[in-house]
Amino acid sequence: MSAEQKIPNPGSPEAVSQGCRCPVIDNSHGRGYMGMDGIFVYTSCCPLHWPEGTELGPFVAKEVGNG
């Protein structure tokens, strides 16, 4: 038990319920981009996965417009 917050995968129901705005379908509902393990698509305005100043890791960082 620690105070560390676990951030759910982008597009997963858990993440969406916490305000995630990343693509759900593209991330296969949190399993990965097009089903690829560990690869995710992020939306630049997502407050959960791409807050301002956050360095993105080795994953697909795809900016997705909101319409």
Nearest-approach distance from CB 9 to Zn ion, in angstroms: 9
Tokens found for residue 31 = 């399993």
Tell whether residue 32 is a contact of Zn ion (CB under 5 A): no
> Which of 9, 10, 23, 28 is the binder for Zn ion (CB under 5 A)?
10
Write the DSSP assignment of 3-33 as a string of letters: SPPPPPPTTSHHHHHTT--S-TTTTGGGT-G
Q: Contacting Zn ion (CB under 5 A), which of 12, 27, 28, 48?
A: 48
**Type of residue at 53:** G
Nearer to Zn ion, 26 or 46 (CB): 46
